[in-house]
């Protein structure tokens, strides 16, 4: 996966998925109380492609990148829209080719 987000990140972003064991909760139900999920290093996340847990050092970095991206997204959502109404005018392409059924005979 190639992302052009500037040179801020040297490390590749690994696609993460929810841990199938704890379903992203990072804990599993023990007999009497919740236990840290040992399938995902108690993170709730696994590598989406393989379903395997990330090593702790890699996990920390990946979670950090994910959190930074999420934080950026939140900040952008909080901002008032700087773009004008032009942004809404993107669906002017409703008439496709061959819409009429004129045979001419
Ligand atoms: Zn888990």
CA 68 / ligand 1 centre spacing (Å): 22
Question: Going by C-beta distance under 8 Å and a sequence separation of 6 or more, which residues neighbour residue 91?
Answer: none
Grade residue 12 by pLDDT with cuts at 50, 70 and 90.
confident
CA 51 / ligand 1 centre spacing (Å): 10
Write out pLDDT tens, residues 53-80: 999 999 999 999 999 999 999 999 998 8
Quick one: average pLDDT of 70-99? 70
CA 15 / ligand 1 centre spacing (Å): 16
* 45-47 vs 16-18, strand pairing mode: antiparallel
pLDDT of residue 99: 55
Q: Is 12:26 a contact under the CB 8 Å cutoff?
A: no
pLDDT of residue 86: 58
Name the nearest CA neighbour of 46 among 25, 28, 30. Answer: 25
Quick one: average pLDDT of 46-58? 95
- Domain assignments of the chain as residue spans, ordered by start: 16-80
* Confidence (pTM): 0.60
């Amino acid at each position: 996966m190639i992302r052009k987000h500037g040179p801020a990140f040297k490390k590749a972003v690994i696609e993460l998925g929810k841990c199938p064991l704890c379903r992203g909760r990072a804990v599993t139900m023990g007999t009497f109380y919740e236990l840290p999920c040992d399938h995902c290093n108690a993170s709730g996340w696994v590598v989406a492609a393989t379903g395997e847990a990330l090593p702790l050092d890699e996990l920390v970095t990946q979670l950090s990148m994910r959190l930074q991206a999420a934080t950026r997204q939140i900040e952008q959502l909080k901002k008032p829209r700087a773009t004008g109404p032009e942004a809404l005018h993107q669906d002017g392409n409703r008439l496709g080719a061959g819409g009429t059924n004129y045979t001419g005979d």
